[in-house]
Copies of this chain bind each other. A is one copy, B any other.
Amino acid sequence: MHYRKSRQRERILQLLRETRAHPTADWIYKKLKNEIPELSLGTVYRNLKVLIDQGKVRKLPFGSTFDRYEAGTEPHYHLVCEQCGAVTDFQMPQYKTIHKKAELMSSFKIHSHRIDFFGICEKCQTTLKKKERRKHYGSRK
């Protein structure tokens, strides 16, 4: 896909780069609406997608698609498989260290923190390997 340039896209990127907060699509839309009155929300969403595809913007993971719930009581972290989307609990020490350090370094009163690791789970690793192998022998599309 060969991208052209457009005022809308350029402004969206620029706006994101200027902002320390992490805006929502709607925030961006409203912010630019004054400057580009014909702008539509659909365009904002479409351009965010393009920018993500170009690697210039990232969507904070664990977003929208669905809320997720857990009943666990023990504090723990999460492993998220980027391939199949599975979320697994992950026990790991050093909670307090990182917690305290963050509290010292910021002006926040920190109550809790959360760590998510993103990668490929064991199952998907083997699946992917199989696919890789097939590619070498199989026909090329």
Chain A residues within CB distance 8 Å of chain B: 13, 16-17, 20-26, 28, 48, 51-52, 56-64, 66-71, 77-79, 81-82, 86-90, 92, 94, 98-99, 101-102, 105-122, 125
Contact = CB atoms under 8 A, between A and B. Distances in A.
Given A22-B87, A63-B67, A94-B98, 12 more contacts: A21-B88, A28-B69, A58-B71, A59-B68, A59-B69, A60-B69, A60-B78, A82-B111, A98-B98, A102-B117, A112-B119, A114-B116
Contacts of A60: 62, 67-70, 78, 87, 114
Contacts of A106: 79, 90, 117
10 contacts: A20-B89, A22-B78, A22-B87, A57-B69, A58-B69, A60-B62, A60-B68, A110-B117, A111-B118, A112-B119
